[in-house]
């Protein structure tokens, strides 16, 4: 199997001269275990990287052309620096263009570039494949244009570029996870303070399994937007009655005392956010104390909150979590990602995996889908892999 540098040289007919240098950025995907439906820009997350990566090889051209090649799918895209903007038809190459946008906006003398992308991060799963592509691209480009730029500045600029480029919310939480990952460590990621606490995984006899429910996905953004508005409304009521900067400044008692006038949906969404923050602190303590029971309780309670309070689960993912809860040797299972289908994960003892997955025969009989499983291992952070 060819490595990405060989693929890149062959694709763009490059030699080995000094003016044909190739830089490769590499970044892992990441998985969020808790916190992925919190207050926008102020959330706490329990996350980790995964042992699936994307590599982005970049070399400079002598003209202003931008050439992109996805070795995974054998697809090519091209544009120019003068047309450095989002185009729907450019699909995956837009993420590289967003990274390039940073350096073009900073006035760097950007010429044309050749790009090759190669990776094994599963697509259409909640493991931040697009964020990994952006980070890998940004790291390689930084080596070419502004090697003295710090990681925090890079992430902030990339987040702003993503927001401007895609006209959507920022991805800095994913960038923090990908840039600060550590092998066999969970991460408590603070989106407000932009810091990361690394906690070694104490459950060495357990695997982290990601299960794709195979439920067909629809456009969930309108539903998620309604929930974000409920969260904003709930926080606005709380902060008008007692000053606070985020939901972290409030307790369950505050919700009971101050939110009697809110409608039921807003109350439930806000309650989920406050409880989720508490759960992340509980899990942080459980990991430090190697307390598997406390870890499992928090994870299961989080799924119950997603089901009953935030209402983004569905019968299929509920079934997968319920069967996990009934199986001895599983330290928690929960929906992850946007919801309304998608994936669950389970922290499962190695000798129990087969027993749990045997139950998927019933799942397929009831729902008509067969879950697809992926084993996840927290891996090292993003890096420049070669130059």
C-alpha 93/C-alpha 91 separation (Å) is: 6
Rg (CA), the chain: 22
- Which tokens sit at 157? 């600029």
C-alpha 76/C-alpha 74 separation (Å) is: 7
Q: Where does the chain have alpha helices with state H? A: 4-12, 93-105, 129-145, 151-166, 172-180, 221-241, 252-258, 264-289, 292-308, 315-325, 353-358, 360-367
The sheet with strand 330-336 has its strands ordered as 330-336, 343-349, 206-212, 372-376
Residue 47 · residue 31 · CB < 8 Å: yes
Q: Is 321 exposed, middle or buried (0-12, 13-18, 19+ CB in 10 A)?
A: buried
Question: Angle at the Cα of 372 (from 360 to 70), degrees rounded to 5?
Answer: 175
C-alpha 74/C-alpha 362 separation (Å) is: 38
Residue whose C-alpha is closest to residue 300's, from 273, 260, 335, 350: 335
Residue whose C-alpha is closest to residue 300's, from 45, 94, 308, 183: 308
The one catalytic residue in 36, 51, 90, 174 is 174
C-alpha 98/C-alpha 112 separation (Å) is: 15
Catalytic site residue 174?
Answer: yes
C-alpha 185/C-alpha 161 separation (Å) is: 29
Q: What's the DSSP call for residue 147?
A: T
Task: Give one DSSP letter per residue of 337-358, joined into a string.
Answer: SS-SSSEEEEEEEGGGHHHHHH
> Which sequence positions are flagged as catalytic?
174
């Amino acid at each position: 199997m060819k490595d990405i540098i060989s693929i890149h040289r062959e694709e763009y007919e490059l030699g080995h001269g000094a003016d044909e240098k190739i830089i490769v950025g590499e970044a892992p995907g990441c998985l969020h275990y808790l916190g992925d439906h919190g207050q926008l820009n102020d959330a706490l997350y329990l996350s980790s990287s995964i042992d699936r990566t994307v590599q982005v090889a970049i070399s400079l051209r002598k003209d202003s052309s931008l050439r992109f090649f996805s070795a995974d799918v054998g697809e090519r895209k091209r544009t120019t620096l003068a047309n450095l903007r989002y185009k729907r038809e450019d699909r995956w190459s837009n993420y590289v263009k967003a990274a390039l946008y940073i350096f073009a906006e900073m006035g760097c003398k950007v010429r044309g570039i050749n790009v090759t992308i190669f990776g094994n991060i599963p697509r259409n799963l909640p493991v931040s494949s697009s964020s990994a592509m952006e980070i890998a691209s940004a790291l390689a480009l930084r080596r070419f244009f502004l090697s003295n730029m710090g990681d925090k500045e890079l992430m902030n600029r990339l987040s702003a570029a993503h927001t401007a480029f895609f006209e959507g919310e920022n991805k800095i939480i994913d960038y923090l996870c990908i840039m600060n990952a550590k092998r066999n460590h969970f991460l408590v990621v603070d989106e407000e303070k932009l810091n990361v606490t690394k906690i070694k995984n104490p459950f060495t006899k357990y695997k982290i399994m990601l299960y794709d429910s195979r439920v067909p996905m629809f456009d969930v953004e309108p539903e998620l937007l309604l929930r974000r508005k409920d969260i904003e409304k709930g926080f606005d009521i709380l902060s008008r009655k007692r000053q606070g900067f985020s939901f972290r400044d409030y307790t369950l008692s505050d919700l009971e005392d101050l939110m009697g006038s809110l409608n039921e949906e807003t109350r439930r969404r806000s309650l989920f956010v406050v409880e989720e923050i508490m759960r992340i602190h509980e899990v942080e303590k459980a990991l430090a104390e190697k307390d598997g029971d406390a870890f499992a309780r928090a994870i299961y309670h989080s799924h119950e909150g997603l089901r009953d309070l935030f209402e983004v689960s569905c019968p299929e993912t509920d079934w997968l979590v319920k069967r996990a809860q009934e199986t001895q040797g599983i330290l928690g299972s929960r929906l992850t990602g946007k919801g309304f289908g998608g994936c669950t994960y389970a922290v499962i003892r190695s000798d129990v995996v087969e027993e749990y997955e045997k139950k998927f025969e019933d799942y397929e009989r009831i729902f008509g889908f067969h879950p697809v499983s992926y084993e996840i291992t927290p891996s090292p952070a993003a890096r420049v892999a070669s130059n």
